[in-house]
Amino acid sequence: MMAYGGRGVGLMMAAGGGIVMLVTSLLFIALCILAIIALVKYLRNDTGNKSTGKLLNNSESTDNALNILNERFAKGEITTEQYSAMKEELKK
């Protein structure tokens, strides 16, 4: 059977084009799967703590805020009065 203007099986198959198309399609599918996996990982980490992927509970959040407050006080960024007021606010 002569197809494609009498050229036998066609130029794409004769020149190995079928294999190229197959490999390209498989690479495209793999790229799509990897993109979906990366998106799911990004969205999962975006809602929680970046280092562990877990949501912070209230006590961990307060401890973290207190650590930041202590660092700011140690660096001299805030006064003693500001430190005391903020610390009392965090304890509530």
pLDDT value at position 1? Answer: 47
Number of domains in the chain: 2
Q: Say which residue, 28 or 92, is predicted with more confidence.
A: 28
Give per-residue pLDDT as tens, 40-63.
Answer: 988 887 655 555 545 555 566 668
- Residue 87's nearest CA partner among 73, 75, 69 is 69
Give the dihedral sign, CA 17/19/22/26: negative
Residue 73's domain spans which residues? 56-92
Same domain, 47 and 63: no
Same domain, 42 and 11: yes
- Percent of the chain exceeding pLDDT 70 equals 63
pTM, full prediction: 0.38
pLDDT value at position 59? Answer: 62
Same domain, 19 and 44: yes
Distance from chain centroid for Cα 57: 22
